[in-house]
Amino acid sequence: MAAALTPEQTAIVKSTVPVLAQHGETITTKFYHDMIAANPSLKNIFNNTHQATGHQARALAGALYAYAANLDDLGKLGPAVELICHKHASLNVKAEHYNIVGEFLLKTMKSVLGDAATEELLDAWGAAYWQLANIMIQKEAQMYAATSYWPEWQDFRIARKEKESEHITSFYFEPVDAKLKLPVFKPGQYVSVSLFVEELDGGVWQARQYSLSDAPGKPYLRISVKKEPGIEIGEPKHMTHTGYLSNILHEKKEVGDVVKLSHPFGDFFFEEKAVEGDTPVVLISAGVGLTCLMSILNTLVEEGGSRPITWIHGSRDSKVRAFKAHVDELAGRERSIHKLYFSSSPAADEVEGQDYDVQGRINLDKIEKDHLFTENKKTQYFACGPTQFMLDVEAKLKSFGVDSERVHMELFGTGGVPKV
């Protein structure tokens, strides 16, 4: 473990920002290749798809660049570190893994940069790496300690499998160990689902994060998974497609099958104690982004009261819109809930005002301000969907006078949601 970072080393690391801009992805691509080749067990942790597509390497290159650029003001990286630690905890990343990453990161820098990787530069980056690694190790240790009754992966049986739309199916998981206490997670959080994939490198475990789609306190954990169309399990390229694990769940996993789940984690959630009981909540989602917001909606309904809630969802058409009957039923008996559906390409037999409310993609300009509660300076907004969709929602809300601290956005995939 390197010594504390000195002012001189800080200056050296910051001086490498242009180098990372030019060679960062080359460094991280070789880093992952060499590290996993020397430590095959890490295939069970790292996402094979993100490795094959280069997404993981690009994300790490961006993270290294951001870290070097903000080395003397690490507070700016707080949200990103929080997000990464939750993902690490859901994958059971441990302190010993940081030793391996640090070793191969420095080796790769030396290999790629050649003579430019002086002893002083490598020492500086070693100290910088361990400065950040120790922060994350301590944070993750605290998270693990808070879930000590649930160590590492746990076996869960698929108790129910219900189709919610043309592409989305819900999986209800119950613990194989009847004595396992289910956590009271925060609505909006996710679990990692780990499956053994025989077709990949002779068989490895692969994990993906899926939002919990029901309120906490149930005798099961529910996720609702979108099956990506156009993938044939067994085709040569299916293992490098972003949706191949979801296809395995849909096509190969049935009621009674056992999978492994992590404890719930995630830094995107609704926390009742932080939001007063009469504060309006607006839930805005596109496509499968509604899953984590469904957990929040169900939680708000179960808590009772008359909190104003607006549910806004966009999809291609009614066939791919999940949970519409459930949301309609809730809105029918809870006068405080207002719902609005956008359909970008409704089918010819769909009826406006019945199957959907507005044709087109979600456009907040087309929603009555009374239903967005923008005049209320306490209103909380939760958005989930593709990155650009979330950024557009945030930008529009800001144009309405909503401060960004009240706009909460969930993350899809590796990386982060840049702030407007």
Catalytic residues: 98, 140
List CB contacts of 38: < 8 A, sequence separation 6 or more.
104
Three-state SS across the chain? CCCCCCHHHHHHHHHCHHHHHHHHHHHHHHHHHHHHHHCHHHHHCCCHHHHHHCHHHHHHHHHHHHHHHCCCCHHHHHHHHHHHHHHHHHCCCCHHHHHHHHHHHHHHHHHHHHHHCCHHHHHHHHHHHHHHHHHHHHHHHHHHHCCCCCCCCEEEEEEEEEECCCCEEEEEEEECCCCCCCCCCCCCCEEEEEEEECCCCCCEEEEEEEEECCCCCCCCEEEEEECCCCCCCCCCCHHHCCCHHHHHHHHHCCCCCEEEECCCECCCCCCHHHCCCCCCEEEEEEHHHHHHHHHHHHHHHHCCCCCCEEEEEEECCHHHCCCHHHHHHHHHHCCCEEEEEEECCCCCCCCECCCECEECCCCHHHCCHHHHCCCCCCCEEEEECCHHHHHHHHHHHHHCCCCHHHEEECCCCCCCCCCC
- CA 94 – CA 85 distance, rounded (Å): 11
User: Could you give the CA distance from residue 331 to residue 208 in angstroms, rounded to a whole number?
Assistant: 32
